[in-house]
Amino acid sequence: MEKRKEFSDLKRDVIDAGTCSSCGGCVAICRLLDLDFLSMDPVSGLPILGGNQSSATANEACTTAPLVRAAMGDELQCPIDCGYCYYQCPRVEKPELQEGLEEYYEVVNSDEEITAAGVAEDVLTSLLASALADALVEGVVTVADADGGAQPEVRIAMYKGALIEHAGGNYGAAAAMTGLADAIVKYGLWSVALVGTPCQMEAYEKMLTVGRETHNAHNFSSVVRLRIAVFCDGVFTNKGEKREGCKICDDLTGQFADLSVGSFGAAGGASVVIVHTDVGKEAFESAQHWGFIEAKPLDRSAVAALRQKQAEKREAGLKEQVRRAHSAVQ
């Protein structure tokens, strides 16, 4: 019988192999979440074993979690029957993309308070504000840029003012998936909207698929009532180089989301919104009905240009995946 995979296998097969997308999903569903067993390294942006374990020693961890193997010294080891970090990772095995609606719109914000605040990403903010006002969700997993140029922070917004305050955060540089655990453990929410990059939407889909009838993965993912992706062409380092995990990404718009929002192909002051699912369509139409946004079908030439850009991103990502696969067997 094959030994169940654990974080050491994830580190070897994904992180050290340069394919990690830094989505934070493995941290969110770690069985020893309360002990900070896994965390996101603020320097590399990658998941690491340990992180902040000042609140619990190895002995305390083993007492709290009976299934944890005895640890040597201060080093913790994965629970014997865990492995959720490995099996839910979309870079181990991609989830299957279901056929969606794929409706394209040019959208402008029409909420006076959001307009007056002059926030970036006003259409995204309005869609989220509508979801809160309509009681579709209790809170939103969002990202806010930190002061002093530090790493963006994953935050939970539960009212419009918080959405406005957090607007404009760099989603590509933040592990938004960790916010799912925060929403449940810290805030006690049972219905949230998840905002993130295409790779984070893919991670959520994998979490939902693999996590059924298992620990954290299903519990955390099942609280998501609305998924909104922001267009992303990759995250770049301070040296101007695309992050290694981004080089194999083949999704520009976030095809696993309910809605996708971006600026490519839109007129000045507007955003493009792609409706992927019935859930997304309902949220989108509700935002229109209550005056949060105004929308019209996106011009055909703009749709064609966006689809072409998506095709180019997919081709480049697949080409890099093949190149690495060939290199690995040589």
Q: Where are the alpha helices (DSSP H) in 290-330?
A: 300-329
Find residue 71's DSSP bridge partners: none
Paired with 224 in beta bridges are 192
Stretch (H or E) spanning 128:
helix 122-133
- How far, in Å, CA of 272 to CA of 260, rounded? 8
Beta-strand pair 224-230/271-275: unpaired
The pLDDT assigned to 102 comes to: 94
Provide the pLDDT for residue 90: 93
Tokens 């201060």 locate to 74
**pLDDT confidence of residue 194:** 96
CB pairs under 8 A, 24+ apart, for 58-63?
60/35, 61/32, 61/35, 61/37
Count Cβ atoms below 10 Å from residue 318 Cβ, excluding itself: 12
Whole-prediction pTM value? 0.89
Q: What is the pLDDT of residue 312?
A: 97
Tens digit of each residue's pLDDT, the chain (330 residues): 567 888 999 999 999 999 999 999 999 888 777 777 888 998 888 999 876 543 333 333 333 333 333 333 355 677 777 788 998 899 999 999 988 889 999 999 999 999 999 988 899 999 999 999 999 999 999 999 877 666 789 999 999 999 999 898 899 889 999 998 889 888 999 999 999 999 999 999 998 888 665 555 666 777 899 999 999 999 888 888 899 999 999 999 999 999 999 999 888 889 999 999 999 999 999 999 999 999 999 999 999 999 999 999 999 999 999 999 888 776
Q: Which helix (H) or strand (E) holds 248?
A: none
pLDDT of residue 70: 35
Check residue 150 and give its pLDDT: 66
